[in-house]
Amino acid sequence: MNKQTLIETHNRIKPFIHKTPVLTSQLLNEKAGCNLFFKCENFQKMGAFKMRGAANAILSLSEEERQRGVVTHSSGNFAQAVSLAAQKLGVKAYIVMPENAPQVKKDGVRTYEGEIIECESTPQAREATANSIKEEKGATFLHPSNQDEVIYGNSTAAIELLEEQPNLDVILTPVGGGGLIAGTALAAHYFSNNCKVIGGEPMEADDAYRSLISGKIETNESFHTVADGLRTHLGDRNFPIIQKYVDKIIRVEEDEIINAMQLIWERMKIVIEPSCAVPFAAVLNNKEEFKNKNVGIILSGGNVDVKNLPF
């Protein structure tokens, strides 16, 4: 993997993604005590950065593999991303979803012609179901966060941000499965002058924070966080990248996440999901660290149930 790989990835997926805007807010800058640049992946196709990784993963398949289709397990954004990318490329998508996944997310998958196979709501059931489809149909399995092609696709959000704002001191992203922060860290390493990458993570699901301390992949016992996109753990493909290139991970409390989310809704007039608010909360609660710096934040997505907001 080198800089050229990321450049080729970016060029490959450009026809299939939006180049999302970078927004600023004077009021939020004053509140945070630094210059904030929000990369708005909530405006990405299907409403999240996941479209980048899904498109790259499918575009990287051979013609023969595409004909046999793709399969993934996801309760949310990656399910929709794979369905849409597959639909655009004429590839069959099998989507394994837990039976209790939100109806709005199931509807999104069906809109993009993904075929849903429901399973019990456990990681084991999801993997077993996906494996059986892989065996039966010969479909290629796509992992939401722990696959090189997905990580490289995710890097393109930060590449675009750095093209627009080359003088960033730091970029923050939320940390769930690790695919976004790993891609962002690669982008910062190859395309910036010494820009640090920091993760934001809920205190209630702080497996990545603990993983960096222990040096091995940790998991969560509980998932009591409003940031539903972050209730997952790191993988063996993205963890080494995170260990090597991520500066650190900052943990935030639930009320801090909700407060940060509400501020963005009210002040920027944009819809973001709770997971997006985690890195912004990290900045607001560590003002000394970011004082007067140029700070990029990747707003990872905007797929939220507006009838069930936390504020």
Task: Supply the residues annotated as catalytic.
Answer: 50, 75
DSSP 33: T
The closest alpha carbon to 181, from 238, 230, 125, 237, belongs to 238
Rounded Cα–Cα distance for residues 122 and 139 (Å): 22
DSSP track, 74-139: -SSHHHHHHHHHHHHTT--EEEEEETTS-HHHHHHHHHTTPEEEEE-SSHHHHHHHHHHHHHHH-P
Rounded Cα–Cα distance for residues 92 and 240 (Å): 32
Angle at 254 between CA 229 and CA 305, to 5 degrees: 45
The closest alpha carbon to 264, from 311, 223, 227, belongs to 311
DSSP track, 271-300: ---HHHHHHHHHHHT-HHHHTT-EEEEEE-
Backbone angles phi, psi at 89, to 5 degrees: -105, 10
User: Is the CB of residue 127 less than 8 Å from the CB of residue 232?
Assistant: no
Rounded Cα–Cα distance for residues 246 and 181 (Å): 8
* Three-state secondary-structure class, residue 21: coil
User: Is the CB of residue 151 less than 8 Å from the CB of residue 183?
Assistant: yes
